Amino acid sequence: MDKITLSKMCFEGHTGCLDFEKKDGQNFYVSLELFVDRIKGCYSDELSDTVDYSQIYEVTKEVVTSDSGNLIEHLAQRIADAVLKADGSIEKVIVNVSKPDAPIDGVFETMEVTIERSRKEFVILSLGSNLGDREDNISKAEEALRNLPGIEDFRVASIYETEPVGLEEQPYFLNTCVGFYTDIDPFELLDKIHVIESNLLRTREIHWGPRTIDIDIIFYGDKVIMKPELTVPHPRWNLRSFVTVPLRELKDVGQEHPDDKEVSLYRERR
């Protein structure tokens, strides 16, 4: 990716935990690294084919000068959100907020925080359970996913009862899909999913065997990932009614669906 840097922009702000910081204000220095997938202006030499630096400056200024929160960490997050919203060509932003006059006894040049945020993608996961309290397992998995930092606009589909696939001699499954926006890296998200599954006593002793919870990444935006540990879109997703049926409630994927008759609707608390 190409990178544009806006360094040491100085604004007066009122972010701080102490009353006099909110009342009197102080200078904050903000630096931005903006990542763009090949800046068209490099070839066209047209102003419209690059990031509008003036717009990004004004957006950052508005956030800093209007903020009256406690933490520069939160201020940095607000800046990242505003910058990504302001220009759709920016795929990732690194925000550094520096507070040289922080009210701390001691000798220091500045106190600062740096965060890195990417544009949020819409992610769809498939959830299934056929051991123990199936509904409770799904509910707990949904709650754990919903509470992950970096998750927004969390959506749930209806719950469906389905026959097992692959290994037929096992209990019926309850299945659903959830969707949300996030900037969590796909592989980091996979690690977090494995932790949730482990906390819900998921074991992997039998391929396609019974499980308390199974969470699969079906889509991560329009990304295509083919790694031993993760394949996205999920293989054969469009051949599984326990995915395609609840998926329709979250996103129009524009694909042919199997015969819905093999899936019986199971709507409780939905």
164 versus 236: which is more confidently predicted? 236
Contact 115, 76 (CB under 8 A): yes
User: pLDDT tens digit string along 79-113?
Assistant: 999 999 999 999 999 999 999 999 999 999 999 99
Question: Against a cut of 0.85, is the pTM above it?
Answer: no
Mean per-residue pLDDT of the chain: 89
Name the residue with higher pLDDT: 270 or 91. 91
With a pLDDT cut of 70, the percent of the chain lying above it is 88
Please state the φ and ψ torsions of residue 42, each to the nearest 5 degrees: -60, -30
User: How large is the average pLDDT for residues 129-156?
Assistant: 94
Give residue-wise pLDDT tens across range 9-58: 999 999 999 999 999 999 999 999 999 999 999 999 999 999 999 999 99
The pLDDT of residue 270 is 47
Catalytic position from the list 22, 85, 92, 99: 99
Task: Let me know if 99 is a catalytic residue.
Answer: yes
Place 266 in a pLDDT band, splitting at 50, 70 and 90: low
Mean pLDDT of 244-262: 63
